[in-house]
Amino acid sequence: MPKKRDGGGLSKTQQAAKFLGVSVLAGAVLAGLALPAAGALGLTAKGTVEGFDDIPANLKTPPLSQRTRILDADGGEIAKVYSRDRTVVGLKDMSPYIQKAIVAIEDARFYQHGAIDLKGILRAVNKNAQSGGVSQGASTLTQQYVKNVFVEEAGDDPDKVAQATQQTIGRKIKELKYAIQVEKELGKRKILQNYLNITFFGQQAYGVEAAAQRYFSKSAKDLNLQESALLAGLVQSPSRYDPVNDPQEATRRRNTVLQRMADLKDITQAQADAAAKKPIKLAVSRPKNGCITATDGAGFFCDYIRKTFLGDKSFGKTRKIRAQRWNEGGMTIRTTLDPQTQKSIQSSLAEHVYDDDPVAGAASIVEPGTGKILGMGQSRPYGFGANQTVINLSVDHRMGGGAGYQPGSTFKPVIAAAALEQGTSPEQEYPSPYRMPYPSPVQTCDGEWQGTDTTQNENKEEVGPYGMKEATAKSVNTYFVQLISDMGICPAVKMAQKMGIERSDGKPLQQVPSMTLGVQEMSPLTMAAGYAAFANGGEYCSPVAIESITDARGRAMKVPQTSCRSAMSKKTADTVNTLLKGVVEDGTGKEAGLHGRDSAGKTGTSDSRYAAWFVGYTPNAAGAVWVGDPQHKRKMYDITIGGVPHDKVYGADTPGPIWRDAMTGALDGRPAPGLPTVPIDDPVKDKSGGDDGDKGPGPHKPGRGGHGKKPGGGLHIPGFPDILGGGNGGW
């Protein structure tokens, strides 16, 4: 069957054969490259053409990688992220000057020839033969576009890039066939548009729009004649003609382009001469790529967005597919980040914890009922320099956080909620001695725990009996140990799970009585989202960070939604509100109370005072603040934080004020609804101190460290020496 012929009367194979025959006879240049004669490679024109026919007919053009914009909830830009700094635009958004300039200098006969330029090849062969080297090439603009497609497909893989650019006849043959296809399918204007969007212009700028922004801080449609000529001249060698590093060489190259445009009658000679006399005037916009460029401390939230995208199947079935989609970019991601809340968090952290302090601070605020993350920040900036980090201290390990931190007594409200759900009265009293052994055995979900360890309160003066309200306000350890021992460990574990409270390392909660004292490592975001259930009538909503995404074509993408579930009855939630309002009104958290606004919360310190916490909420925001040593090495005794010296650090005196100031700024000008509560007949006895290392309503007296049997010793449970060890009465 005869080959299908196009309008020129020759089949595609015959066109290629004619071209290749010329090249082989010349023995020098194939499509613009100085190559050995085909015979020297053992090739004949016939064999080469047969290889040409074996090449697949369709060029698979990968989506051009572009920069992705990450926006806050109000549409303000948080950061741009990309593997290629590129913004794809149409010809209507490119200056006519840049279109003419690139054709003039790269392929003057672009609109006269097909995919290959035989006249240009013969001219190049003759020129190269005269010079004895490679002084002129003959690749058409279409061929260059095809090569760039191969390079784009190779991505950042150096081996694939080398294959895409190797100087071999085989690669050029492949390039030629695809060029023929592209010419037929796209047409000249579309090829020119694609070429100007894919080409590298130096200084990390891909495509003419990014190049215009990089060198002149303007859009490609606003480029004038001399600016267009400069950019067009860069394509041949972006490093050699870089106007930032070598303005003289760039000027010479620009003027060459201008003269070429005049020779082709694209501009007049007078225009070329006038433009050539003008010095290069740059307005360079340095590359701003990645979360490190985020403002208001949002770099960690930006990175959380990336990890959310890579980890959620909404964006692809496999991580490889999701990573490829992220690298392609071109997306606009609108997030839940509230700029007012974010600025308030960062301002509060900066005031209370310095970036060069021996410890760090982190805070997260979420919206009850929606799970939206409104703010996320920390005292150490996002980065790789001194006093900087890329570890997100607010989140679990799988989302870029560290090992987590013992939440101490901020876990006690979970125990209280579990007990209330089991039918325990909030007026339940326990003897609550200063020191006591853990009751043994205690029921777990799959058996029982047995042990002989002891626990104690912060101060010897803390001796019951106490009811639940006073025990919560003063954070009495022995009360909550008796409470969990009576109801069993399993209800506490299940309550934590329903509230989304889990260990930072992803392992199951250890079923031990000391869990009531917050001995298992967790993250601030986890605790904030869990407490939001109290503010939301007992319903927990999982944290979400993404509101919407549009792709490079403006199409909406499916995004993960919050998952809400009932964690407890409304009556239980309202009762916990009453308990935790008492903490900020009359208990260990008075320093965290908000002026003119209902709030509730709980203080906490970890074992050995490696960390201190405050977790609290209003009806419209729930937040957690952590201060401590991410390495779990520096105990917070005799320490200066934010310029303030401390003998000991309490949840009330550092995290509490951070929470107060962050929430005050975040909620400024916003509604102040009240928290629903229930009356509890629990007369507060005139006792002092707070067991968790947080100053109580009365005069504070230093406590003796230790939940174990030796001073400052740990709670020694077989199998858990590290997690549950060490004690300062601060759990």
Task: Please provide the DSSP assignment of 685-718 as one string.
Answer: P-----TTSS--SS---PPPP-SSSSTT-----T
- Please give the model's pTM, rounded to 2 decimal places: 0.76
- Whether 363 maps to a domain, the answer reads no
Q: Is the pLDDT of residue 695 over 60?
A: no
pLDDT at 85: 86
CB 141 within 8 A of CB 103: yes
**Amino acid of residue 508:** P
Q: Which of 413, 367, 428 is nearest to 567 (CA)?
A: 413
Gap between the Cα atoms of 716 and 613, Å rounded: 24
Domain CATH number, residue 150: 1.10.3810.10
pLDDT at 137: 46
Please state, for a pLDDT cut of 70, what percent of the chain lies above it: 80
3-state class of 335 per DSSP? strand
pLDDT at 7: 38
Gap between the Cα atoms of 300 and 604, Å rounded: 24
Q: Which is more confident, 29 or 291?
A: 291
Pairing of strands 332-335, 68-71: parallel
Please state, for a pLDDT cut of 90, what percent of the chain lies above it: 62
pLDDT at 56: 54
pLDDT at 687: 44
Segment 501-530 mean pLDDT = 94
Gap between the Cα atoms of 393 and 399, Å rounded: 10
- Number of structural domains in the chain: 1
Decide: residue 218, CB within 10 A, 0-12 exposed, 13-18 middle, 19+ buried. middle
CB 169 within 8 A of CB 162: no
Would you give the end-to-end CA distance of the chain in angstroms? Answer: 86
pLDDT at 495: 97
Q: Which of 438, 414, 416, 442 is nearest to 427 (CA)?
A: 416
- Whether 461 maps to a domain, the answer reads no
Segment 133-153 mean pLDDT = 74
Q: Which is more confident, 274 or 112?
A: 274
- Residues constituting the chain: 731
pLDDT at 156: 64
Decide: residue 450, CB within 10 A, 0-12 exposed, 13-18 middle, 19+ buried. exposed
Q: Which is more confident, 137 or 536?
A: 536
Q: What is the token pair recorded at 664?
A: 């005050």
**Amino acid of residue 234:** L
Decide: residue 507, CB within 10 A, 0-12 exposed, 13-18 middle, 19+ buried. exposed
CA-only gyration radius of the chain, Å: 34
With a CB cutoff of 8 Å and minimum separation 6, the contacts of 36 are: 27
Segment 45-70 mean pLDDT = 63
Q: Is the pLDDT of residue 244 over 90?
A: yes
CB 221 within 8 A of CB 99: no
- Whether 561 maps to a domain, the answer reads no
pLDDT tens-digit map of 17-40: 444 444 443 333 343 333 333 333
- What range does the domain containing 189 cover? 12-54+85-277
Q: Is the pLDDT of residue 281 over 50?
A: yes
CB 276 within 8 A of CB 258: yes
- Give the model's confidence band at 173: pLDDT under 50 very low, under 70 low, under 90 confident, else very high: confident
- Whether 179 maps to a domain, the answer reads yes
Q: Is the pLDDT of residue 317 over 60?
A: yes
Gap between the Cα atoms of 284 and 220, Å rounded: 14
Q: Is the pLDDT of residue 104 over 80?
A: yes
Q: Is the pLDDT of residue 433 over 70?
A: yes
As a whole number, the mean pLDDT across the chain is 83
Among 23-32, 42-51, 132-141, 564-573, the minimum mean pLDDT is found in 23-32
- Whether 389 maps to a domain, the answer reads no
Count other C-beta atoms under 10 Å from residue 167's C-beta: 10
CB 281 within 8 A of CB 230: no
- Whether 580 maps to a domain, the answer reads no
Segment 703-717 mean pLDDT = 31
- Whether 38 maps to a domain, the answer reads yes
Whole-angstrom CA distances from 206 to 96, 151, 241, 275 are 19, 12, 16, 25
Q: Which is more confident, 650 or 723?
A: 650
Reported as half-sphere exposure (CB side, CA atoms, 13 A), residue 66 has a value of: 20
- Whether 61 maps to a domain, the answer reads no
Instruction: Report the Cα 194 to chain-centroid distance in Å.
Output: 30
